[in-house]
Structure 1
Amino acid sequence: MNDQLTPINKDHLKKLIRAELEPTWFDKQSVSSDMSWVTPAVFEILFTELITHTRGNQSKAARVLGINRGNFTKKLNQITTREFGSDESL
């Protein structure tokens, strides 16, 4: 069991996801809800908040996530490219 304090209320997050899925629980017509937006949204919020919290220090932000700086930078670049709609041909 992880005894570390966390700023994320896991129970609240579970409730939000269940609330999103609940309308499809008994509805046989729409068996699955489109949840494809969840992972990209969580990554975007997590990475941008971490980079703000660490005042731009990618090494510190990566340590918080338990990943190396290179992987953090790669994911952050993917997020910012998607967010700003950068053109790869430039």
Structure 2
Amino acid sequence: MARIALENEVLRRYFRLQLAAYDYHSETPDLSHILPVVKRMIIKETLIYTLGNKTKAAKLLGINRHTIAKYCNLE
């Protein structure tokens, strides 16, 4: 549980740093690269929880098993 809290804090800080790098009044930040990182982290943690069972992980996350396989192949 402590590891997940730490990862959440790291993601939160990274996100805030990305936002802080832009001038709020003149630029629109491109944060599209963050969502795939978060998705991979969630899928990875769910696979650890299900002992690598992609079908169970997909059911827990409410997504297709092939989506899990796709994210696993990206690493």
Same fold? TM cut 0.5: yes
Q: Unpaired segments of 5 or more residues in structure 1?
A: 1-11, 81-90
- Which segments of structure 1 move beyond 2 Å, counting only runs of 4 or more? 19-24
Q: 2:59: which partner in 1? A: 63
Identity %: 31
Larger Rg belongs to: 1
Quick one: distance in 2 between partners of 1:45 and 1:32? Answer: 26
- Residue from 34, 38, 43 that aligns with 2:34: 38
**Structure having the larger proportion of residues in helix:** 2
Count of residue pairs the alignment pairs up = 63
Q: With CA pairs under 8 Å and 6+ residues apart, which has the higher RCO, 1 or 2?
A: 2
Q: Unpaired segments of 5 or more residues in structure 2?
A: 1-7
Give RMSD over aligned pairs: 2.6
